[in-house]
């Protein structure tokens, strides 16, 4: 009766990487490989119960993520009213914006977006609600548990996360907002398909308690022909209002060859110019990879 | 040929909890969620080989149990003679008594039985034997490996565990006994079904090396109508013979609404009065939850 | 569409073991139990993508291996050209030699080969290539990533691993070579089947940077009748050229009763004479076990 689906992805690259002034080095790297289990039960009357648990691991070393089911661990109940979710899950504000336009390698590994503001990215102890899809519009809201700490440790405040999607033919829009106490981020995203071309863009405004505000822009483009895809990705953040010279730039060119819907081989070059070191420092990598979904 | 079954449970509550004099706090909590793999092979002539491994995790944080397969990891061989088990498994003395009458939420989470004596509850390095079911009667015996420690560390003695079940129509009886050196517990349990009502009870006698003996009583009742269940659970322990003022009381009222055999939504209130703090201290919680089996 | 296979093995023994001059002790022991997930996708044109991840655990305690997917975590691409592998996998030089003749209990547990030279046994951060099978001949080559360490920590050099198999009717030959900087091992293996008898042998030459070279010999034999197997295994290593009195001897007698292709019960006695203590010291064990594949 029970029907559990086992699914996942292995995504491994062989890279030549260079950190700052260090020697260039050969590496075998993981790009967010994972395995998961999921299932849905039809309860009748339009009601459905479901679960999904997802585990990240590094196939280059065999190492499990330190929080084993940290990618996702939720139980949910859905009906005409929408969906209620309990547990551990990725902020929908991230899926609706940065992840959505990360087309060349699923926002994973060394070429994923390094400059998006992650300080309000909370996955644990969450309750969420998803609206039904209303003519292409869908909204997500969730709140993560706060913690009453004994004095003098400050309490950890609740984190709120909102996201919205709107799809109309070739046009795809999204927005995300997160807030925990004084930390905030707000982003809007667009993606447009015209024939073989797909173009996406993102603007994010980030507020941090000490270092102040900054604005981040990103554009991504894909040209697809047959089994081939050519990709370009450029992201640029301005400096924090109260921490000067923290602007940074990342750009990536990529090529994918789709052996099937599940399997591709690919190559990319990515470069981060980050003089301040606040986003990990100057970095570049040439990579060849294989991604296999199952 | 191989047929492995993947099974499990997600059980998550949203609670308002209060510990002692601390402020009341909102929490998203796990109630013994797990995933497991099991299978059986028919060897012919009434002989069967089987395995079961079961992993506990916390979906509210995605965290794996510190002993990954600590819930169960056994290989067994069964025939007309009964069953032989090797590996890691829950004491049958617990399943036969406390767990059996914990009807409202499977003896999991904040409303599970806090006052049962767990000091001889050993799961690892075990060899067990289960008798065939003889007209409703079945017995379980197991022994857990001791450890020869170098002086002056004392050796860890073997732990013995015995359990018995007897089922006759609406009447269900059980008993459990465990012993490791001077630590002992013995419990008897009864459960009776009459129409929409089910009533269970338990008495346990616990012996500890320093703090002495105590006696624990518990009753649980369920009234079921349609998809609804009303539950009441009351447990009371007397004080340890050599540690005064260690008596405690727990009571729980619960309501379950079964959306299907696999999925329910529920609510409960549980309260522990434990002035001595030996069972975790005064505590109460209001909870709303969803439990989904797969 | 996706078809993931769940597979594994539970292999548990009850043993009476004796380490050096310590008291004999009863133990419940794991013998490399594991669970894995694997799958293959046909890409057309003779091309195939596949993955395999394998996790080792100890059913006697429920404990997971410290590197969760450390037994295997690879993604591969195969075609007429052979196979390319990326990730974590066992050195083929080991499978082609020591593992191949370890017939009585799959080279697992207390009776596995203690004297084989493991210092170049590297599983992580690997890229490998496997030739097609050419009339019974097949070769494997892999290289594991080195690490550029900052001075004064020495760099970790790349590890190279080569293996070859040749099968011709009842004759099965293999060889393995591994090298990391000054550490090297080379081994040749043969196995011959004649009727109910199977006989295997192995010679390995090991080179270590400080303690020098040594030579290791091993023979193993099996006599099979009906569901029964009788086994004998003897391994003897000479001393290291620059560390005298480091010779050692291991011998094992075993009996397997195959309840099916997947399940057996077995017993063995193994004894290691290792005065120097360099291979773990003097040791012997009587064991009774059950192995169940799924």
Residue among C80, C89, C174 at smallest CA distance from C136? C174
A243 pairs with which residues across the strands? A240
User: Are A73 and B62 an interchain contact pair (Cβ–Cβ within 8 Å)?
Assistant: yes
Considering CB atoms only, which of A28, A58, A259 is closest to C49?
A: A259
Please list, in sequence order, all residues whose beta carbon lies within 8 angstroms of the beta carbon of residue B30, skipping any fewer than 6 positions away.
B11, B12, B57, B58, B59, B60, B61, B109
User: Are C127 and A14 an interchain contact pair (Cβ–Cβ within 8 Å)?
Assistant: yes
Residues from chain A that touch B11, judged by Cβ atoms under 8 A, are 75
> Alpha-carbon distance C173 to C187, whole Å?
11
User: Are C294 and B73 an interchain contact pair (Cβ–Cβ within 8 Å)?
Assistant: no
Task: Identify the pLDDT of residue A154.
Answer: 86
> Alpha-carbon distance B279 to B273, whole Å?
9
> Alpha-carbon distance A86 to B290, whole Å?
9
List all residues of chain C from 75 to 94 with a beta carbon under 8 Å from chain A: 75, 77, 86-88
Residue ranges of the domains in chain C?
5-17+28-293
> Alpha-carbon distance A99 to A110, whole Å?
14
Whether residue A171 lies within 8 A of chain C, CB to CB, comes out as: no
Q: Which of A44, A49, A67, A70 to mutate to test the interface with B (most CBs of B within 10 A)?
A: A49
Work out the pLDDT band at B148, boundaries 50, 70, 90.
confident
By C-alpha distance, the chain A residue nearest C56 is: A62
Residues from chain B that touch C63, judged by Cβ atoms under 8 A, are 67-70
Whether residue A133 lies within 8 A of chain C, CB to CB, comes out as: no
User: Are B126 and C263 an interchain contact pair (Cβ–Cβ within 8 Å)?
Assistant: no
Considering CB atoms only, which of C26, C59, C293 is closest to B53?
A: C59
Whether residue A146 lies within 8 A of chain B, CB to CB, comes out as: yes
Is residue C182 a contact partner of residue C99, using CB atoms and an 8 Å limit?
A: no
User: Are B67 and C59 an interchain contact pair (Cβ–Cβ within 8 Å)?
Assistant: no
In angstroms, the separation between the Cα of residue C126 and the nearest Cα of chain A is 7
Task: Identify the pLDDT of residue C1.
Answer: 44
Whether residue C72 lies within 8 A of chain A, CB to CB, comes out as: yes
How high is the mean pLDDT of chain B? 96
Residues from chain B that touch A36, judged by Cβ atoms under 8 A, are none
User: Are C73 and A62 an interchain contact pair (Cβ–Cβ within 8 Å)?
Assistant: yes
Residue among A240, B229, A62 at smallest CA distance from C74? A62
B44 pairs with which residues across the strands? B47
Residues from chain A that touch C68, judged by Cβ atoms under 8 A, are 57, 62-64, 68
Whether residue C100 lies within 8 A of chain B, CB to CB, comes out as: no
List all residues of chain C from 23 to 62 with a beta carbon under 8 Å from chain B: 23, 25-28, 33, 35, 57-62
User: Are A62 and C41 an interchain contact pair (Cβ–Cβ within 8 Å)?
Assistant: no
Task: Identify the pLDDT of residue C150.
Answer: 80
Give the three-state DSSP class for A251.
strand
By C-alpha distance, the chain A residue nearest C150 is: A22
Task: Identify the pLDDT of residue C290.
Answer: 97
Is residue C91 a contact partner of residue C45, using CB atoms and an 8 Å limit?
A: no
- CATH-assigned architecture of domain C5-17+28-293: Beta Barrel (2.40)
Domain A5-293 has CATH 3.40.50.280: no
In angstroms, the separation between the Cα of residue B129 and the nearest Cα of chain C is 14
By C-alpha distance, the chain A residue nearest C87 is: A60
Distance of CA A56 to the CA centre of its chain: 14
Residue among C116, C97, C103 at smallest CA distance from C235? C116
User: Are B125 and C12 an interchain contact pair (Cβ–Cβ within 8 Å)?
Assistant: no
Token representation of residue B266: 């529920």
User: Are A53 and B61 an interchain contact pair (Cβ–Cβ within 8 Å)?
Assistant: no
pLDDT beyond 60 at A1 = no
Is residue C116 a contact partner of residue C132, using CB atoms and an 8 Å limit?
A: no
Considering CB atoms only, which of A62, A262, A265 is closest to C69?
A: A62
Is residue C190 a contact partner of residue C100, using CB atoms and an 8 Å limit?
A: no
Whether residue B288 lies within 8 A of chain A, CB to CB, comes out as: no
Task: Identify the pLDDT of residue B170.
Answer: 97
Whether residue C291 lies within 8 A of chain A, CB to CB, comes out as: no
User: Are C62 and B123 an interchain contact pair (Cβ–Cβ within 8 Å)?
Assistant: yes
Considering CB atoms only, which of A259, A293, A294 is closest to C43?
A: A259
> Alpha-carbon distance A32 to C28, whole Å?
37
User: Are C294 and B41 an interchain contact pair (Cβ–Cβ within 8 Å)?
Assistant: yes
Token representation of residue A30: 């993981």
Ranges of chain C whose pLDDT falls below 50: 1
pLDDT beyond 80 at B2 = no
In angstroms, the separation between the Cα of residue C67 and the nearest Cα of chain A is 5
Chains that touch B (3 or more CB pairs under 8 A): A, C
Residue ranges with strand state E in A89-136:
126-130
Task: Identify the pLDDT of residue A148.
Answer: 77
Whether residue B126 lies within 8 A of chain C, CB to CB, comes out as: yes
How high is the mean pLDDT of chain A? 96
Locate tokens 């904040």: which residue? B110
The dihedrals phi and psi of C239, each to the nearest 5 degrees, come to: -80, 160
Residues from chain B that touch C57, judged by Cβ atoms under 8 A, are 53, 68-69, 73
By C-alpha distance, the chain A residue nearest B27 is: A145
DSSP string, B184-240: EEEEEEEEEEETTEEEEEEEEEEEETTTEEEEEEEEEEEEEETTEEEEEEEEEE--B
Considering CB atoms only, which of A49, A67, A147 is closest to B61?
A: A67
Residue among C213, C266, C215 at smallest CA distance from C12? C266
Residues from chain B that touch C258, judged by Cβ atoms under 8 A, are none
> Alpha-carbon distance B29 to A208, whole Å?
30
Is residue B220 a contact partner of residue B236, using CB atoms and an 8 Å limit?
A: no
Task: Identify the pLDDT of residue A2.
Answer: 58
User: Are C290 and B77 an interchain contact pair (Cβ–Cβ within 8 Å)?
Assistant: yes
> Alpha-carbon distance A137 to A152, whole Å?
45
Q: How far is CA C43 from CA A30, B154, B205, B262, C76, in A?
A: 23, 62, 65, 39, 12
User: Are A28 and C68 an interchain contact pair (Cβ–Cβ within 8 Å)?
Assistant: no
Task: Identify the pLDDT of residue C154.
Answer: 86
By C-alpha distance, the chain A residue nearest B10 is: A75
Locate tokens 């604005």: which residue? A215
User: Are C12 and B43 an interchain contact pair (Cβ–Cβ within 8 Å)?
Assistant: no
> Alpha-carbon distance C94 to C123, whole Å?
11
The answer to whether the Cα torsion of A261, A265, A271, A277 is positive or negative is: positive
Considering CB atoms only, which of A11, A62, A290 is closest to C77?
A: A290
User: Are C294 and B43 an interchain contact pair (Cβ–Cβ within 8 Å)?
Assistant: no
User: Are B7 and A4 an interchain contact pair (Cβ–Cβ within 8 Å)?
Assistant: yes
Q: What percent of chain B is modeled with pLDDT above 90?
A: 94
List all residues of chain C from 210 to 239 with a beta carbon under 8 Å from chain B: none
By C-alpha distance, the chain A residue nearest C4 is: A6
Is residue B260 a contact partner of residue A41, using CB atoms and an 8 Å limit?
A: yes
The dihedrals phi and psi of C282, each to the nearest 5 degrees, come to: -60, 140
Residues from chain A that touch C6, judged by Cβ atoms under 8 A, are 6
Q: What percent of chain A is modeled with pLDDT above 90?
A: 94
Interface A–B counts its CB contacts (< 8 A) at 114
Whether residue B6 lies within 8 A of chain A, CB to CB, comes out as: yes
């Amino acid at each position: 009766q029970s029907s559990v689906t086992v699914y996942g992805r292995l995504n491994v690259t062989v890279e030549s990487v260079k950190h700052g002034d260090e020697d260039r080095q050969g590496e075998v790297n993981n790009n967010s490989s994972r395995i998961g289990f999921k299932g849905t039960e039809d309860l009748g009357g339009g009601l459905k119960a479901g679960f999904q648990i997802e585990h990240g691991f590094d196939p280059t070393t065999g190492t499990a993520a330190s929080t084993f089911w940290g990618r996702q661990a939720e139980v949910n109940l859905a009906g005409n009213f929408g969906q209620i979710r309990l547990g551990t899950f990725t902020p929908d504000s991230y899926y609706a914006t940065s992840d959505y336009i990360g087309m060349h390698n699923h926002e994973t590994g060394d070429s994923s977006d390094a400059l998006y503001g992650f300080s309000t990215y909370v996955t644990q102890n969450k309750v969420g609600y998803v609206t039904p899809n209303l003519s292409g519009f869908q909204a997500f809201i969730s709140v993560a548990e706060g913690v009453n700490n004994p004095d003098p440790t400050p309490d950890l405040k609740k984190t709120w996360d909102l996201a919205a999607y709107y799809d109309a033919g070739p046009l795809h829009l999204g927005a995300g907002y997160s807030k925990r106490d004084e930390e905030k981020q707000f982003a809007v995203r667009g993606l447009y398909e015209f024939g073989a071309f797909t173009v996406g863009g993102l603007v994010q405004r980030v507020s941090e308690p000490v270092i102040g505000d900054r604005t981040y822009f990103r554009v991504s483009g894909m040209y697809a022909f047959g089994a081939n895809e050519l990709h370009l990705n450029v992201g640029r953040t301005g400096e924090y209002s109260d921490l000067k010279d923290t602007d940074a730039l990342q750009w990536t060119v990529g090529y994918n060859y789709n052996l099937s819907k599940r399997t591709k081989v690919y190559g990319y070059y990515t470069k981060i110019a980050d003089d301040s070191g606040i986003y990990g420092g100057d970095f570049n990598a040439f990579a060849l990879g294989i991604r296999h979904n199952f």
